[in-house]
Amino acid sequence: MKPAPFDYLRAHSVGEAVRALADADGDGKIIAGGQSLLPVLALRMARPRLLVDINRIPGLSTITPVDGGVRLGALVRHARLAGQTAHPLLAEAARWIGHTAIRSRGTSGGSIAHADPAAELPVVAAALEATIHIAGPGGTRATTATELFTGPLETTLAEDEMITAIDLPSPQRWGFAEFSRRHGDFGLVTVVAAEVAGRWRLALGGVGGVPLRPAEAEHLLNDGAPVEQVAAAAAAAVTPSGDIHASAEYRRAMTEEFTRRALTPDTERAAA
């Protein structure tokens, strides 16, 4: 199929982009990498009247050190994330995103805005308690990843707002483990462990409508409990749905196994 007809605007500033979205009155969409939006348009599952191209807006493609971490501009491509050395956890997560063609076009801001609970960057953002910077017609605001994600492919972004940057602290130690049927597929289960300011955080992807933070497992981990106990608590915290790819019981079992892997000495990394 082909997309329904739409108008196209190439924005040259954040202000121009959000004004165009506001003028579209809920019938506009941002396009950057297009890796999530274009397939939906082609299937006519979405029929926006206006596409606002933000690829030419200056200042959105930078990776900047900030407050013990990094600030990603919304247009930072996954391929660049995979190759950078300032934030090793982000580099590892980005290597698991799709294939080369997808990584060369997909953007950090687009992945966070799309809010797929099985995608790698939302899980990392949840584990690191990332700060999301958002622009709208009324100015700018900041929110946390936990506050942003509200459900599968759902966020608190208004129809006339856009993500401009993401701040992610650099963990002292970290672990990343993902289970997918084939490399490049979305993870059936993704586990991110990160030690920030002396406290461990866990986030689980693919097992709920949003990336999950298993509170009891985090508590046990920070109290020095054995990895096996932490992994069992993480599995107990999820209530996944079954589908054609895996049953609920299988996803729960893989949550336990891949939490264990994310926390073993072989996968736990020290920050560079």
| Lowest-confidence region among 73-87, 92-106, 180-194 | 180-194
Q: Are 37 and 169 spatial neighbours (Cβ–Cβ below 8 Å)?
A: no
**Predicted local distance difference test score (pLDDT) of residue 267:** 46
135-139 long-range contacts, CB within 8 A, separation 24+? 135/14, 135/15, 135/17, 135/18, 135/161, 135/162, 135/164, 136/18, 136/22, 136/160, 136/161, 136/162, 137/18, 137/19, 137/22
pLDDT digits (tens, 9 = 90+) for 202-228: 999 999 999 999 999 999 999 999 999
**Average pLDDT rounded to a whole number, residues 179-197:** 90
CATH 3.30.390.50 domain span(s) along the chain: 173-270
Query: Ranked by mean pLDDT, which of 101-105, 115-119, 216-220 comes out on top?
Result: 216-220
Residue 7 and residue 257: Cα distance in Å, rounded? Answer: 48
pTM, two decimals, is: 0.94
CATH T-level topology, domain 7-53: 3.30.43
**Predicted local distance difference test score (pLDDT) of residue 266:** 52
Residue 51 and residue 79: Cα distance in Å, rounded? Answer: 24
CA angle 53, 65, 12 (to 5 degrees): 20
**pLDDT confidence bin for 252, thresholds 50/70/90:** very high
Terminal alpha carbon distance of the chain: 47
Residue 251 and residue 242: Cα distance in Å, rounded? Answer: 8
| Lowest-confidence region among 6-15, 94-103, 183-192, 215-224 | 183-192
Judge whether residue 66 has pLDDT over 80: yes
**Predicted local distance difference test score (pLDDT) of residue 272:** 36
**Average pLDDT rounded to a whole number, residues 138-154:** 96
pLDDT digits (tens, 9 = 90+) for 7-40: 999 999 999 999 999 999 999 999 999 998 989 8
Judge whether residue 120 has pLDDT over 70: yes
- Architecture category of domain 173-270 in CATH: 2-Layer Sandwich (3.30)
**pLDDT confidence bin for 271, thresholds 50/70/90:** very low
**pLDDT confidence bin for 270, thresholds 50/70/90:** very low
CATH 3.30.465.10 domain span(s) along the chain: 63-169
Judge whether residue 189 has pLDDT over 80: yes
Angle between helices 88-95 and 120-128 (to 10 degrees): 160
One-letter identity of residue 24: A
CATH 3.30.43.10 domain span(s) along the chain: 7-53
Residue 135 and residue 51: Cα distance in Å, rounded? Answer: 17
Residue 145's nearest CA partner among 205, 88, 185 is: 205
Query: Ranked by mean pLDDT, which of 170-174, 179-183, 245-249 comes out on top?
Result: 170-174
CATH class of residue range 63-169: alpha beta
**Average pLDDT rounded to a whole number, residues 71-97:** 97
